């Protein structure tokens, strides 16, 4: 997938400078986290991976949705100083950065000075423009050490269209479609709006109703049976949606077809 736009949203920057030796906590955040130990060190485990130490000046990177198991360690002088940046990075208006790239768990020592520069610029808050500019520089630094995931995002809309066409009679949730597209549910909704101009739920129902219209023309099954065949468990709900899309109830639609054949 060619990256044409990068948008940074929801920037939050904080820091600490205190005696926190041994402080231990676990959390999972809905944002990308870049955390640097300016003085002292973090002992960090991400998901089920083996914990590692950042070392003084080092940093760890935690994608959104990844469990962080953190232990703080003071440096010389009995205190720890750290700073962190939380942000959402969206590619091409729909994909989170970590959905397209395998991000480094830690920043390489050779880039720690550059990392410190951008982290300081983000934290200082000199101006909104300077803050966002530093976040883009930080994102570029992450991309320089990231690996692109082997996912054919270019074919995602066509893949989703095929999936719905093949599984329309089965229960399909937004979570199922997100797993199929290898993206978050939020990205899935943006993808459907951008490519299909509707929500996943409405798109699925539209496909089901189109299949139902074909089955009704065959005049083999009852209205309730047709609704069930295309994935509608509630006949009344099926009839209501069908009339909304075609202007006639399923029964009226069958009558119209019958009249045309006479």
* pLDDT value of position 106: 93
**Strand, coil or helix: what is 216?**
helix
Distance (Å, whole) CA 64 – CA 219: 51
pLDDT in tens, 136-185: 999 999 999 999 886 545 567 877 888 898 899 999 999 999 888 878 89
Q: What pLDDT score does 35 carry?
A: 96
State pTM to two decimals.
Answer: 0.64
Same-domain status, 134 and 172? no
Provide the token pair at 36: 């640097």
What's residue 165's pLDDT?
86
**How many Cβ atoms from other residues are within 10 Å of residue 106's Cβ?**
18
The CATH number assigned to the domain holding 69 equals 2.60.120.280
pLDDT at 153: 54
Radius of gyration of the chain (CA): 26
pLDDT digits (tens, 9 = 90+) for 36-91: 999 999 999 999 899 999 999 999 999 988 999 999 999 999 999 999 999 999 88
Beta bridge partners of 88: 9
Residue 87's H or E segment, with its range, is strand 80-91
pLDDT over 70 percentage in the chain: 94
Residue 31 covered by a domain: yes
What percentage of residues in the chain have a pLDDT greater than 90?
A: 60
Dihedral sign (CA 95, 100, 106, 109): negative
Residues in contact with 103: Cβ distance below 8 Å, sequence separation at least 6, in sequence order: 32, 61, 63, 97, 142, 145, 146
Same domain, yes or no: 20 and 118? yes
Same domain, 133 and 161: no
Are 114 and 34 in contact by the 8 Å Cβ rule? The answer is no
**Domain boundary pick from 148, 175, 198:** 148
Any domain includes 1: no
**75 and 21 within one domain:** yes
pLDDT winner (highest mean) among 126-130, 137-141, 193-197, 221-225: 137-141
Whether residue 131 is found in the same domain as residue 162: no
Indicate if 39 and 143 belong to the same structural domain: yes
Comparing 168 with 256, which gets the higher pLDDT? 168
The residue assigned the tokens 């320089």 is 144
Same domain, 133 and 185: no
CATH of residue 219: 1.10.10.60
191 and 232 both lie in a single domain: yes
60, 46 in Cβ contact below 8 A?
yes
Q: Are residues 191 and 126 in the same domain?
A: no
Q: How far apart are the first and last CA of the chain?
A: 54
At residue 260, the pLDDT reads: 56
> Bigger pLDDT: 123 or 30?
123
If one counts the domains in the chain, the total is 2
CA 22 to chain CA centroid, nearest Å: 33
Tell me which of 99, 123, 148 is where a domain ends. Answer: 148
Assess whether 46 and 102 both reside in one domain: yes
Q: Is residue 221 part of a domain?
A: yes
Q: Within a domain: residue 195?
A: yes
Residue 83 lies in a domain: yes
Q: Which domain holds residue 239?
A: 153-261
35 and 133 belong to one structural domain: yes
Q: Do 136 and 18 have their domain in common?
A: yes
Query: Looking at residue 244, what is its pLDDT?
Result: 92
Residue 152: what pLDDT?
47
Quickly tell me which residue has 């899935």 as its tokens. Answer: 188
Boundary-marking domain end, from 148, 172, 205: 148
Whether residue 238 is predicted with pLDDT greater than 80 in this model: the reply is: yes
């Amino acid at each position: 997938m060619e990256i044409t736009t990068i948008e940074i949203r929801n920037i939050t920057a904080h820091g600490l400078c205190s005696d926190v030796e041994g402080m231990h906590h676990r959390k999972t955040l809905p944002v990308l986290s870049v955390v640097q130990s300016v003085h002292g060190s973090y002992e960090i485990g991400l998901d089920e991976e083996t914990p590692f130490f950042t070392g003084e000046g080092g940093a760890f990177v935690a994608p959104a949705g990844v469990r962080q198991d953190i232990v703080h360690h003071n440096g010389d002088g009995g205190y720890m100083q750290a700073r962190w940046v939380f942000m959402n990075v969206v590619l091409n208006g729909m994909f989170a950065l970590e959905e397209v790239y395998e991000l480094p768990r830690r920043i390489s020592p050779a880039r720690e000075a550059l990392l410190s520069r951008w982290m300081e610029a983000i934290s200082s808050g000199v101006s909104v423009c300077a803050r966002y500019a530093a976040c883009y520089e930080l994102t570029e630094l992450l991309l320089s050490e990231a690996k692109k995931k082997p996912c054919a995002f270019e074919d995602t809309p066509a893949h989703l269209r095929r999936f719905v066409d093949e599984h329309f009679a089965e229960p399909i949730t937004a979570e199922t479609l997100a797993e199929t597209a290898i993206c978050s549910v939020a990205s899935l909704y943006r993808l459907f709006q951008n490519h299909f101009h509707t929500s996943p739920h409405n798109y699925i129902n539209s496909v089901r109703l189109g299949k139902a219209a074909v089955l009704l023309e065959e005049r083999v099954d009852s209205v309730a049976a047709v609704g069930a065949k295309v994935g509608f468990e509630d006949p009344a709900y099926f009839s209501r949606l069908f009339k909304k899309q075609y202007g006639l109830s399923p029964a009226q639609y069958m009558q119209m077809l019958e009249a045309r054949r006479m």
